[in-house]
Amino acid sequence: MITWSVAAAQEAGAGQVVVVQGPERELDEVLGDGVAVAIQEQPRGTADAVRAAVPHLREAQVVVVMNGDHPLISAQTIQSLVEAHDRSGAAATIATAVLEDPTGYGRVIRGPDGTVERVVETKAEGDATGAQLHIREINTGLFAFDGPELLSALEEVGSDNAQGELYLPDVLPILRGHERTVQAHEATEAGTMLGINDRAQLAQVQAVAQRLINDRLMRAGVTIVDPQSAMIDVTVRIDADAVIAPFTSLQGASAVGSAATVGPLTTLIDCQVGAGAAVVHSYAQGAQIGERVSVGPFAYLRPGTVLCAGAKAGTFVEIKNSRIGPGSKVPHLSYIGDAEVGEGTNLGAATITANYDGTRKHRTKIGDRVKTSVDTTLVAPVSVGDDAVTAAGSVIGQDVPSGALAGSPGVARSQQRNIEGYAERRKEREEEGPEPPADERRRPADVNSGAP
């Protein structure tokens, strides 16, 4: 929530952003550089929170105060408020909204000349009268102040209210007492009003934010087949003509190139997807997926995976910290970890790189145009030269020269034995019924004679 508000303030052109936090909070790492932090030692209300930020405000000519739990306030709303404040020449300008049901919000009390006299809180009994509760114009919690006037008025704010707190709106009648005016500016964006106090409201705001993100992407040329099921972070970049299939989640610093297809049922975290690639029903984190790459279904790409242009990671394939060269394929049922795979190589089903010896990880190097047959295990550290081939069922623990056929003793298999007529004899046994217990299978004569 905080980073959304900070981003909006910075986009609106704020010269300095100050976040007020409690003593138990640690937001420095989240906020990053260029954002100051002020500590409010006790939760004594919104005016006290602004007081905590005063050391950062002494040189400011205009101070905008906004709630940290209203993350959908846009940069345009902030700019519009500041422009209205500059035009009015008022000591303060408050962003207001008119609601059909204003329950729970502070009501804006206007004077005969239309300027704002004060804001009456309604969250606690005793602050607002019955007549004031019928007012539908409410305080959004977004203010623009003349900097010096704000600092002066903060010194006079008291806590004579039902909650015993220092309310920031109480600055407004103080400014009027200084013979300065307070103006109202209507905020029209619905997101301005959406605050978060519990997990239910968090879900509501997130749903609105997701609709805004998806709408922006679709208007920029991205096809989102089912916007209601697509979860896309605001930090994700998607080029025009990409297709996002249903039930897809794109998170963090992910990027999707033009004409790529992602989904359905796919999660990408901090992944780069090249133009024309297809990632179907898969999970990937920290992977680089090149142009025209095919991934899935049911692939798992772990951090450090690089799939070069035209490569393939197919069904039930797991790849970790490995580079799969241009046009190379890992079609199905394989684990490739800590490996370098060259160009045009095909790794057969159940190819495994045994990269861990119980103490350390080791790398496997596989050259260009290599073909591993099914059920090949490569015990690292090991190298396989260009154009090499492995036989089915091989365990490769020694380097393979270029162009060689490699396999376990007997060329990957022990001596094969064929038993003729096995199926017919098995059928005859089944027709005879189940065999008697072992101690009843010996003939009486054999028992008496001691013969086996």
With tokens 């179907």, the residue in question is: 280
Checking if the pLDDT of 54 tops 90, the result is: yes
What digits encode the pLDDT tens for the residues 187-206? 988 778 888 889 999 999 99
Q: Considering just the CA atoms, what is the radius of gyration of the chain in Å?
A: 35
Query: Is 332 considered catalytic here?
Result: yes
Q: Dihedral sign, CA of 149, 154, 156, 157?
A: positive
What distance in Å separates the CA atoms of residue 99 and residue 114, rounded to the nearest whole number?
18
Torsion region of 437: left, alpha or beta (phi above 0 gives left; psi -120 to 50 gives alpha): beta
Question: What token pair was written down for 58?
Answer: 């002494």
Domains along the sequence of the chain with CATH: 2-193 (3.90.550.10), 221-406 (2.160.10.10)
Query: Per DSSP, what are the bridge partners of residue 384?
Result: 366, 400
pLDDT for 27: 79
At residue 353 the predicted structure's pLDDT band, cuts being 50, 70 and 90, is: very high
Check residue 448 and give its pLDDT: 40
pLDDT of residue 33: 80
107's tokens: 């009501």
The β-bridge relationship of strands 107-110 and 294-295 is unpaired
Half-sphere exposure of 129 (CA within 13 A, CB side): 3
Number of H helices, E strands in the chain: 9, 36
Cα–Cα distance measured from residue 291 to residue 273, given in angstroms and rounded to the nearest whole number: 7
Cis preceding-peptide flag for 381 (omega within 30 of 0): yes
104: which residues sit within 8 A by CB, 6+ positions away?
Answer: 122, 123
The C-alpha atoms of residue 249 and residue 261 are separated, in whole angstroms, by 13
Is it the case that residue 444 has pLDDT exceeding 50?
no
Structure-token pair, residue 449 = 């004679």
d(CA 158, CA 48): 10
Confidence of residue 128 (pLDDT cuts 50, 70, 90): low
pLDDT digits (tens, 9 = 90+) for 336-346: 999 999 999 99
Q: What are phi and psi of 289, to 5 degrees?
A: -110, 110
Helix (H, G, I), strand (E, B) or coil at 240: coil
- Which pLDDT score is estimated for 416? 54
Per DSSP, helices labelled H in 44-187 are 46-52, 75-88, 147-154, 171-177
Check pLDDT > 50 for residue 271: yes
Decide the pairing of beta strands 300-301 and 377-379: unpaired
Quickly list DSSP for 156-225. T----STT----GGGHHHHHHHTT--EEEEE---GGGG---SSHHHHHHHHHHHHHHHHHHHHHTT-EES
Name the catalytic one among 70, 85, 185, 332.
Answer: 332
Lowest mean pLDDT among 133-142, 187-196, 265-274: 187-196
Q: Which of 130-139, 159-168, 340-349 is the most confident on average?
A: 340-349
Question: How much is the average pLDDT of 349-377?
Answer: 96
Beta strand residue intervals within 45-130, DSSP E: 62-65, 92-98, 107-110, 116-120
Is 104 or 362 the better-scoring residue by pLDDT? 362
List pLDDT tens digits, range 291-339: 999 999 999 999 999 999 999 999 999 999 999 999 999 999 999 999 9
Instruction: Answer yes or no: are the C-beta atoms of 229 and 245 closer than 8 Å.
Output: no
Q: Which of 363-372, 421-430, 442-451 has the highest mean pLDDT?
A: 363-372
pLDDT at 382 over 60: yes
19, 2, 4: which is closest to 72 by C-alpha?
A: 4
Residue 99: C-alpha distances to residues 107, 137, 188, 191, 370 (Å): 11, 7, 11, 13, 69
